[in-house]
Structure formats: structure tokens, C-alpha cells
Amino acid sequence: MKLCGKAVAMVWLPVVVLALSSIIAYPQHMAQNSSPGPNRDINAVLAAHDKELLAIADVVGVYVGTMEDGQTLCLKVMLARKNPESERKIPRMIEGYPVVTEITGSVRALGRP
């Protein structure tokens, strides 16, 4: 019987360890996948959408920036002036990244130094 008990323990021990590790890892996996996040690099997203954003009236520039927390990446859309109609045309999210508008005024190229 002793040998049989050891054999049972050798079979059940890996099963118990596997079950416990699955229970511990499963909530972490769910937390990672439960919030929709970006699938592509933010620079690729900007390159794919910059022309359509620049085609909106009063948009004078677009760039990669950060939210007020200083860590969360976002797309910044520069507006020449406050214009509710233009702001309505700008999406709040693009491919999982937040889009933030800012009033910068007109932008013009400077002459050569």
C-alpha cells in the first residue's frame, strides 16, 4: 500500500500544481485582455491617419504626445482656433489611442536661418 500511496501522490501532485497555477494565472490573463488596447505602435497609427486628420478644417498639425499623467501615449491634434464643428469631426479614439485636441493658433514655416 505504501508504494501505491506514493504513486497516487506522484500523479496527483502535478495535477494540483497545474490547477493552482491556472487559477492564479487566469485572472491576470483576463485583466490584460478585458480592456481594449492599441494593437499597433502609435507612430504607425499616426502615419496611417495623419492625412485624414489634417484634412479637417482648422487642424494645423498632429503629433504623438502624452496625456496629462505624462505617461499615457496619445495622438495630439493641433487646431488653429476653437471650432466646435471641427472638434466634432475629430475622433476621441483612434485604434485604441486617445486623441486630444489643443488650440495652438496658426502654424507657419519660418525662413531659413
Q: Does residue 78 surpass a pLDDT of 90?
A: yes
Overall fold of domain 42-103? GMP Synthetase; Chain A, domain 3 (3.30.300)
| φ, ψ dihedrals at 39, nearest 5° | -100, -25
Residue 42 host element (H or E): helix 42-54
**What spatial distance separates the first Cα and last Cα of the chain, rounded to whole Å?**
92
Residues 6-58 have pLDDT tens digits of 554 454 544 444 443 444 433 333 333 344 677 899 999 999 999 999 999 99
pTM above 0.75, yes or no: no
